[in-house]
Amino acid sequence: MHLNHMAWAVPLFLGLMGLEYLVARRTGKNYFGFANSVSNINVGIAERLLDTFTVGIFYFVYEFLHTHFSIFNIQSGVLLWFCLLLLTDFIWYWYHRLAHEVNFLWAAHVVHHQSDDFNYTVSARITVFQAFARMCFWSILPVIGFPPAMIISVQLVHGIYPFFIHTRTIPKLGFLEYIFVTPSHHRVHHASNDQYLDKNYGDVFIFWDKLFGTFTVEKEEPVYGLTKPLDSNSFLWQHFHFILEIIYTVRQTRGWREKIKVIFGRPDKIDPNMRAELEKKFLKVNRSIQVSSRLNAYVTWQVGMLLVLLFSFLLLEHYIPVFIQICTTIIIFLTLINTGAILEQKRWVFYLEYVRLQTGFIIISFYWPHPFLFLSLLIIQLPFFLLRGEIKRGYFRLLYGG
């Protein structure tokens, strides 16, 4: 998809999220938790941003495989477009199923299932790791002979459809339940209830689950999230906790055969107590924090500015120098890390805020390399180094209330 189109997708999907929120509020349903929604949108911002760098890589891979290894020379046609959609969804089913059954694939996919809420913001929880894993599975399509342009076009449709099934506001849809994956089917997939685990892997069509014995209907109200809730807003921890769990389990496992079984085995091969040990080592969560409306307002402002920055970046990407693209990417990722850490009231966010401001000054200096600007920058640095303790305490009082 052209990056300009990707840019306009941001306000479109945000508008639909807002509409779902209003519908839920109007019907008296509390489907949106503040911290969960922020975490969901943050993961989506990272994935949209990295798409600007990966979409060309994916097309190159498909083009290379099609040019050198294609078995058939498939041309565009109505029936072939439909066949490609079926094949894309069939491959997705098996990728998705294996992503729940194989640890190293689950490490990429687990982020999508961490939210304890279930709404349109959850559809944004896709990581670049998952995008690369899916691309590896879909790489069979150019080998069969489908042209890369056809593949990317179908994947665009295939990628938009799942957005609309991440909702609790739409009930069962009658006869459509027999053909397509519906919100009811996908609510089951995101549930942690015992009878719903490892069910309904389909993305567009539900008959793959019925064919391969992984289908079940929604009966009792689902409980969403992981069977062992993550209970953390940390952007980094959400992405890397299960990778760490695999690494530490492998280190504690004797024998190469058993180590390989950990990597390629099911998630239940990982000791459920491992995460608690790693949280003590790397996360150090404070369970007694009090979240103020001022803190939530600051985080909301941060996420709002991020979305504006992401939209502008995607819309104007072809006109932005590479150096500024790198600096903008750094600012966005620093902010993503900071918003999660601020919700957990970490003290080191002060230093990330400082680095982010410095990166902003670098961008301004790139466009306006005036001696007066450099002098101003030096003058601004002086109170930071001389009064750093006082500035830090004032920042925490303003943000955390203490």
Per-residue pLDDT tens listing for the chain (402 residues): 445 567 888 999 999 999 999 999 998 888 999 999 999 999 999 999 988 888 889 999 999 999 999 999 888 888 999 999 999 999 999 999 999 999 999 999 999 999 999 999 999 999 989 999 999 999 999 999 999 999 999 998 899 999 999 999 999 999 999 999 999 999 999 999 999 999 999 999 999 999 999 999 999 999 999 998 988 899 999 999 999 999 999 999 998 999 999 999 999 889 888 898 898 888 876 666 677 788 899 999 999 999 999 999 998 888 889 999 999 999 999 999 999 999 988 888 999 998 998 898 888 888 888 787 778 777 777 777 777 888 888 888 888 875
- Phi/psi at 200 (5° precision): 55, 65
- Predicted confidence at residue 1, as pLDDT, reads 46
Tally the C-alpha atoms within 13 A of residue 168's C-alpha that lie toward its C-beta: 23
The CA angle 94-100-106, to the nearest 5 degrees, is 110
Other Cβ atoms within 10 Å of 198 Cβ, number: 12
- Phi/psi at 340 (5° precision): -65, -40
- Predicted confidence at residue 39, as pLDDT, reads 95
Please give the Cα distance from 254 to 43 (Å, whole number).
35
Helices then strands, each counted (H, E), the chain: 17, 0
Alpha-helix residue ranges (DSSP H) falling in 148-198 = 148-160, 183-189
Report the SS3 class of residue 150: helix
- CA distances 273 to 104, 228, 280, Å, are 19, 10, 11
Please give the Cα distance from 238 to 55 (Å, whole number).
23
**Percentage helix, strand, coil for the chain under 3-state DSSP, each rounded to 5:** 75, 0, 25
What's the start-to-end Cα distance of the chain, in Å? 47
- Predicted confidence at residue 9, as pLDDT, reads 86
- Predicted confidence at residue 307, as pLDDT, reads 95
Contact 119, 261 (CB under 8 A): no
Of 44, 10, 51, residue with least CA distance to 235: 44
Please give the Cα distance from 46 to 49 (Å, whole number).
5
Please give the Cα distance from 10 to 311 (Å, whole number).
7
For residue 205, what are the β-bridge partners? 180
Q: What is the pTM of this model?
A: 0.90
> Which tokens go with 401?
């209330």
- Phi/psi at 266 (5° precision): -80, 160
Report the SS3 class of residue 224: strand
- CA distances 184 to 71, 167, 390, Å, are 39, 8, 53
Q: What is the dihedral of CA 342, 32, 111, 89, to 10 degrees?
A: -150
Please give the Cα distance from 297 to 312 (Å, whole number).
23
- Predicted confidence at residue 402, as pLDDT, reads 58
Q: What is the dihedral of CA 195, 197, 200, 202, to 10 degrees?
A: 180
Supply the DSSP symbol for 221: P
Tell me, what amino acid is at 329?
A: T
